[in-house]
Structure 1
Amino acid sequence: MRVVAYSDGSSRGNPGPGGFGAVLLYTDPAGQTHKRELSQGYQRTTNNRMELMGAIAALEALTRPCSVELHSDSQYVVKAFNDHWIDGWIRRGWKTSQKQPVKNVDLWNRLLAAMAPHDVSFVWVKGHAGHDLNERCDELATTAADGDALVDDEGFSDADV
């Protein structure tokens, strides 16, 4: 089963209220495309945490192993995998190449767990460049960040800033 996913994150201040948006597309064997949209707002978070949450939410929404092409305008997320940053962080015990603690380890671990049953490839897409699905994710994320149904980002700490 092949799924194409787009995700985005937003924060109104860094830290501040934030949100993520994700769009999942699946074309069934009859050729019909199914679309699912996801979003959630948070009271106090960062942009990078919301970028991660968009990818996490997309993958956690899948109920069986899939081949996933995940598009994001976050170089933070995409380069972590495509440039193998995450491999070095793990090898160094979640330290950067400058021996500093990696931020958002809780969400990196959650993303790794969400990826585990799937074959995931990451594709970077330029943000705010008119790509319909990326723009839709941005709209979902900002609407969620500006909404009234904000929840706690339980893993957030000022060390993530």
Structure 2
Amino acid sequence: MSEGHQLVIYTDGASRGNPGPGGYGAILMWGEKRKELSAGYRLTTNNRMELLAVIVALESLTRQNIPLTIFTDSQYVVNSIEKKWVDGWIKNDFKGGKKNKDLWIRYYKLAKNFSIRLKWVKGHADNPFNNRCDVLATQAADKGPLLIDEGYEREIALK
């Protein structure tokens, strides 16, 4: 539950095969209000969907400079942000083949507008909001309609 007027966001991403069809799910909670977001993609990766869930949740917000906590079961997302790896990747223009440049740049620009606290939660465990995000993500991947992850498909076409 959200404490007072703290925005709480849960996110999850999924990929059927890695790469394969994928999807993301997010739940935004403000007091008793809930908003669910999800979408599926025809070809993507799990890490891209984990990160895209965070990005789409942030992009959906109409107010900036509010404190928010994002819960994710992705160590990739938490470590990249909390350990400031993404800062280094951006500074070095993703040298060394760091993946998901398009999404990290999108996140980085958005994150400047918020006071974000990230928290890792164990996936597929007893957290009902994380589990709901997993359902949203996998249903989006399985049922579609499937969108095109243009950043990923452009990246693999260049290889």
TM-score > 0.5, shorter chain as reference: yes
Report which of the two has the higher share of helix: 2
Q: Which runs of 5+ in 2 are unaligned?
A: none
| SS of 2:119 mapped into structure 1 | strand
Partner of 1:145: 141
Tell me, yes or no, if the aligned pair for 1:104 and 1:160 is still in contact at 8 Å: no
Which string of whole-angstrom CA distances, capped at 9 and with x for unpartnered residues, describes residues 56-82 of structure 1? 111111001121100100010000111
SS in 2 for 1:40: strand
Alpha carbons 2:13, 2:49 under 8 Å: kept = yes
How is 1:24-63 mapped onto 2 (pairs within 5 angstroms)? 24-27=28-31, 33-63=32-62
Identity of matched residues, %: 49
Q: How is 1:43-122 mapped onto 2 (pairs within 5 angstroms)?
A: 43-65=42-64, 66-95=66-95, 100-122=96-118
Determine the structure 2 residue equivalent to 1:124. 120
- Separation in 2 of the partners of 1:124 and 1:76? 10
Hey, what's the Cα distance between the residues in 1 that align with 2:139 and 2:92? Answer: 38
TM-score (norm 1): 0.89
The residue aligned with 1:30 is: none
**Which residue identity lines up with residue 68 of structure 1 in the other structure?**
L
The count of residues paired between Structure 1 and Structure 2 equals 152
**Runs of 4 or more consecutive aligned structure 1 residues displaced over 6 Å after TM superposition:** none
Residue 151 of structure 2 aligns to a residue whose secondary structure is coil
> C-alpha root-mean-square deviation of aligned residues, in Å?
1.7
> What is the CA–CA distance in structure 1 between the aligned matches of 2:102 and 2:112, rounded to whole Å?
16
Unmatched runs of 5 consecutive residues or more in structure 1 = 28-32
SS of the residue aligned with 2:97? coil
> Which residue is equivalent to 1:16?
20
Shift of 1:92: 2.4
After superposition, the Cα gap between the structure-2 partners of 1:109 and 1:69, relative to the gap in structure 1 and judged at 3 Å, is: same
Kept in 1, the 8 Å contact 2:40–2:141? The answer is: yes
2-side partners of 1:76 and 1:158: how far apart?
A: 20
